[in-house]
Structure formats: structure tokens, C-alpha cells
Amino acid sequence: MQKFSALQQQFAKHLKHPELEPAPAGLEERRLSIYRDLFFNNIVGFLSNGFPVLQSLYEQDEWLDLCRAFYHQHGCRSPYFVDISKEFVEFLANEYQPLATDPPFMAELAHYEWVELALSISKEDPGGGYWQEGKPYTTLKVSELAWLLSYQFPVHKICTEFYPQQADGPWYFVVCRDEQDEVRFTEIDQVNAYLLNYIEQQGEVNLMSLNEQMHQALPQYPPEQLEQQVNQAVQRFLLKRILVVVHQEDS
């Protein structure tokens, strides 16, 4: 058993680093070539499907080089194919040394593209009830299926025709999966980002304490005007399923 395990490890190392790791003795090169291509092409397929915008910014050979760098250099912790995209995002953010030809926003764009997949397969539930419009509510929280995001580049605009060289952020977004399992992105301003971040940090809040916090953070606004804007923002986020109701009044 130990000998077979060692053989498996040597075979796996060869598939990942064929130039550096010799194949186990006695294996036909033609068959090895098929396996090498199969494994690498599977990785390329997952990355191309998961990051179509990022791929579109590369020539085909350059994209394959980037995929190959990930394949060779990153040690995936998860055995599941669905986690390859997450591993690629982590690789770009923490391990990859960008080349002069790489986009300066590549790590942020990859994260932005990955979020949609991550939320679409999340096994979390919202953590509260969806608001019924017009019904009073008391305590709120950010849905477990809503993520607050910020980037230094306008990742939502990037394409082959729009290729920013300098960061001009922060840009704020909230992405949420609703009750129809649709993943939706919403661009928000700094004030709304602060509001959602405060609710998220608190875990649960009531509207009174939220208004008090916003008064402290934005003393330049007239209290009545600010309270009206906070209430309107909360209702918009409730309707979008970004916020959920933890305690709701019966009438």
C-alpha cells in the first residue's frame, strides 16, 4: 500500500510539474501526454468559464501562461472542482508575482468575477425573514447572502475597451442572492457602504440605534433630513433582500 501511495504521489507531481518531476518508471509517454493535457485543460476550462472578463484581456498564449503559473505554483487546499475559482483568486491576491503585461487590477477583477459564483452556490440561509412591504419591523441585519465589497478599480466597467491603468477608488458594491436565487450587484456610495458595514459589524440593529449612529457619523446633515434618508435607504435594502428582518411586528 505504501509503495502504491508513493507511486500516486510521484505521478501527481509529474502531472503538475512535468519539466521538473520525472514520471514513474514504465509508463508509456503517449499515455502520459494524454493525462498531462487532460489535467491542465480541465484547469484552463474552469478558469476560462469562471473569469471571462479577465481572460478577454489576454492573448491566448498569455492566458495559458497565467493558467499554467497557477497550475504549477499553487497548492490547492480543496479537492472540489467548484473551489478552483476561489483558489485562483487567492493565488492572484497572495502568491502571484504580476508581470509588466498583467493588468494592474487583475486581482480585484478576479475577485469581482468570483463573487457571483461563490454566492450562487453558498449554502447559507439569509439569517432572517424577508420584509413584507408596509409591515412594521424592529430589528434588522445584513443577509448572510449579501456581501459588502470595495475595490480600488472600477471593476464593474472593465472590458477590452476600458482598461484603467490607475486606481481611482474606492468603489463600493453590495452583491446579494435573492429568494429567486438570482445574484445581483448594486453599486453604492460611501454613506450607504458605511451604513451597511455598521449593521454588519453590530450583527443586529434596530432603526433607532442605526439613526443615532448615522447622526454621530454625519453631524453636518440636519437630523430630520438624515433620518429620512436612512429610513429610505433601509427600505431599499430590505426590498433588494440585502437586509433581512430579525424581529418583525405583527401589525
Q: Given the C-alpha cell 463573487, which residue does it identify?
A: 115
How many domains does the chain divide into? 2
The predicted structure's pLDDT at residue 246: 87
The predicted structure's pLDDT at residue 1: 44
The predicted structure's pLDDT at residue 251: 44
Overall average pLDDT of the 94-109 stretch: 96
DSSP 23-77: PPTT--HHHHHHHHHHHHHHHHHHHHHH-HHHHHTS-HHHHHHHHHHHHHH---S
Average pLDDT, the chain: 87
The predicted structure's pLDDT at residue 59: 95
Nearest one of 83, 132, 92, 133 to 111, comparing CA atoms = 92
pLDDT reading at 4 higher than 60? no
Q: Given CA atoms 217, 222, 225, 227 in this order, what sign does their dihedral have?
A: positive
Overall average pLDDT of the 221-237 stretch: 92
Any domain includes 117: no
**Distant-in-sequence, close-in-space partners of 27: CB < 8 Å, separation ≥ 6:** 11
Q: Which of 75, 102, 129 is the last residue of a domain?
A: 102
Cell of 85: 475559482
Any domain includes 128: no
> How many residues are recorded in the chain?
251
Any domain includes 121: no
pTM: 0.86
pLDDT reading at 80 higher than 50? yes
Q: For the packed helices 84-94 and 60-73, what is the interaxial angle rounded to 10 degrees?
A: 90
Pick the residue with more confidence: 75 or 122?
Answer: 122
Pick the residue with more confidence: 75 or 206?
Answer: 206
Buried b (16+ CB within 10 A) or exposed e, 43-74: bbebbeebbeebbebbeeeebbebbebbbeeb
The enclosing H or E element of 205 equals strand 205-206
Least confident of 165-169, 212-216, 247-251: 247-251
Overall average pLDDT of the 128-149 stretch: 88
Any domain includes 110: no
15 burial (CB, 10 Å; 0-12 / 13-18 / 19+) is middle
pLDDT band at 130 (very low <50, low <70, confident <90, very high): confident
Do 88 and 171 share a structural domain?
no
Do 243 and 195 share a structural domain?
yes
Do 231 and 141 share a structural domain?
yes
pLDDT band at 32 (very low <50, low <70, confident <90, very high): low
Do 12 and 95 share a structural domain?
yes
**Residue 182: CATH number of its domain:** 3.90.930.50
pLDDT by residue (tens digit) across 184-214?
999 999 999 999 999 999 999 999 999 999 9
Cβ contact 49:82 at 8 Å: no
Domain containing 223: what range?
137-248
The enclosing H or E element of 200 equals helix 190-202
The predicted structure's pLDDT at residue 250: 54
Any domain includes 47: yes
The predicted structure's pLDDT at residue 107: 98
